[in-house]
C-alpha cells in the first residue's frame, strides 16, 4: 500500500507525456542561490545565511486557439519540485517543495523570450519551531507549509531542443497564520538553468480581440479561519469587497475599491464596530483572459485595539473564471513581509 503514491505519480507522468502528445512539452532544471530577508528585528540573527537549491520542472503548452484565449497569450502549465538548503542545518534545515506553476510568455523574438513564472504549492520543512529543542526558529511552526513564488525569466534558445535561462525568483513560505509562531520566510534567489524540449515546434499565430480602454466592476467574498486569541479553537475570518478598474493595456489595469473584514478570532471588548475592519484600497490587475492576478494595497480606517501595528496591508489574489462572470480563487493577506492568512474566495464581474 505504501508504494501506491509512487505508482500513481509514475502513471500520471506517463499520461502527461503520452495523452498530451499534441502539446509542446519541456523539462527544466535550475540551480539557485539567494538570501533571506529579515523582516523583523528578531529574525536578523537567523537571516545571515545564503540559501542554495535546485529545482526540476515538467511543463506543457497547449497551442490551440481555445487554450490561447485563456490568457490571450501562450503559456506553460507545470509541476515543479524544488529543494532549498537554508545554510543553517541545526535551526532552519531545508525545504522540499512541490508546486503547480503558470508561466505566460510576455515577449518573444527568436532566439529570446521573456516570461513570468508563478506558482503555489506546499513545502515540507526539515526543521521547525520547538519550545525545547529549537526555540530560535520562529519562521516555521509546522512541517507542512504553503509556498508561493514569482519568477521573471529570460530564456535564450540555442537549438531546437535546448535553451538556457536566467531567473530571479521571490519565494514566500508560511502556514498562512494557521499556527504560531509564523513569521514566515521571504527569500529572493537568482537562478541559472537549462530546458530540454521534448516536442519542439513553432507556435501558431492566434489573434484576440483588439484592445480598447474599458471599465470593469466586481465584488468578492472570502473565508478562512484563525486560532482565537481569547478562546480555544479556530474562529472564522470573513471579508467582503467591491471595486472597479480601468484597462491600460491588454493585460494591465488599475483601480480601487473598499474592503470590509471581520476577524472573529480577535477579542473585541467595546462594540461590534470595533471588530469591523474597514479598508479602502488601490489595486493593480494582471488580466490573462480567464485568469486574473491582482494586488491590493489597503489602508485601515478602523481595526480592533491591539491588532497588528501596521496601518497598511497587501492582498494578493489569484482567480479563475469558471462560468461567465463567476470567479473562484485564493487570496493571501500580508502585513509588510509577514503573511497573516490564506483565504478561499468567490467573485463576480459585472
127-144 confidence digits (pLDDT tens): 999 888 998 888 888 899
Q: For the chain, what is the mean pLDDT?
A: 85
Contact 141, 174 (CB under 8 A): no
Instruction: Identify the CATH number of the domain defined by range 215-349.
Output: 2.40.128
Highest mean pLDDT among 9-13, 64-68, 293-297: 293-297
- The domain segmentation of the chain, as residue ranges, is 21-197, 215-349
Contact 265, 242 (CB under 8 A): no
Q: Is 274 exposed, middle or buried (0-12, 13-18, 19+ CB in 10 A)?
A: middle
Instruction: Identify the CATH number of the domain defined by range 21-197.
Output: 2.40.160.20
* Among the ranges given (103-107, 132-136, 148-152, 229-233), the one the predictor scored with the smallest mean pLDDT: 229-233
Residues forming beta bridges with residue 108, ordered by sequence position? 113
Q: Return the higher-pLDDT residue of 256 and 43.
A: 256
Which grid coordinates belong to 36? Answer: 533571506
Instruction: List CB contacts of 187: < 8 A, sequence separation 6 or more.
Output: 34, 35, 36, 37, 51, 84, 170, 171
Amino acid at each position: 500500500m505504501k508504494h501506491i503514491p509512487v505508482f500513481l505519480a509514475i502513471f500520471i507522468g506517463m499520461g502527461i507525456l503520452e495523452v498530451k502528445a499534441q502539446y509542446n512539452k519541456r523539462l527544466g532544471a535550475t540551480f539557485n542561490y539567494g538570501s533571506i530577508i529579515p523582516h523583523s528585528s528578531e529574525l536578523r540573527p537567523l537571516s545571515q545565511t545564503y540559501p542554495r537549491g535546485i529545482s526540476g520542472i515538467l511543463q506543457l503548452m497547449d497551442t490551440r486557439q481555445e487554450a490561447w484565449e485563456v490568457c490571450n497569450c501562450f503559456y506553460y502549465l507545470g509541476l515543479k519540485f524544488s529543494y532549498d538548503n537554508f545554510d543553517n542545518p541545526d535551526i532552519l534545515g531545508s525545504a522540499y517543495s512541490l508546486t503547480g506553476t503558470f508561466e505566460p510568455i510576455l515577449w518573444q523574438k527568436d532566439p529570446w523570450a521573456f516570461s513570468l513564472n508563478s506558482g503555489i504549492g506546499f513545502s515540507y520543512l526539515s526543521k521547525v519551531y520547538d519550545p525545547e529543542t529549537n526555540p530560535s526558529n520562529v519562521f516555521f511552526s509546522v512541517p507542512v507549509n504553503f509556498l508561493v513564488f514569482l519568477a521573471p525569466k529570460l530564456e535564450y534558445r540555442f537549438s531546437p531542443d535546448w535553451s538556457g535561462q536566467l531567473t530571479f525568483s521571490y519565494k514566500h513560505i508560511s502556514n498562512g497564520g494557521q499556527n504560531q509562531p509564523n513569521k514566515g520566510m521571504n527569500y529572493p534567489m537568482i537562478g541559472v538553468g537549462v530546458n530540454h524540449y521534448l516536442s519542439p515546434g513553432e507556435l501558431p499565430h492566434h489573434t484576440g480581440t483588439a484592445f480598447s480602454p474599458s471599465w470593469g466592476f466586481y465584488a468578492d467574498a472570502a473565508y478562512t479561519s484563525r486560532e482565537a486569541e481569547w478562546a480555544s479553537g479556530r474562529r472564522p475570518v470573513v471579508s467582503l469587497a467591491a471595486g472597479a478598474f480601468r484597462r491600460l493595456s491588454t493585460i494591465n489595469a488599475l483601480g480601487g475599491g473598499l474592503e470590509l473584514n471581520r476577524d472573529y478570532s480577535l477579542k473585541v471588548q467595546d462594540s461590534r464596530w470595533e471588530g469591523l475592519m474597514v479598508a479602502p484600497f488601490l489595486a493593480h490587475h494582471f488580466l490573462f483572459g480567464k485568469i486574473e492576478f491582482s494586488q491590493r494595497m489597503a489602508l485601515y480606517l478602523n481595526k480592533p485595539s491591539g491588532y497588528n501595528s501596521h496601518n497598511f496591508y497587501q492582498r494578493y489574489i489569484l482567480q479563475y473564471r469558471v462560468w461567465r462572470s463567476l470567479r473562484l480563487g485564493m487570496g493571501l493577506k500580508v502585513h509588510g513581509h509577514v503573511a497573516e492568512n490564506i483565504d478561499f474566495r468567490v467573485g463576480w464581474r459585472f
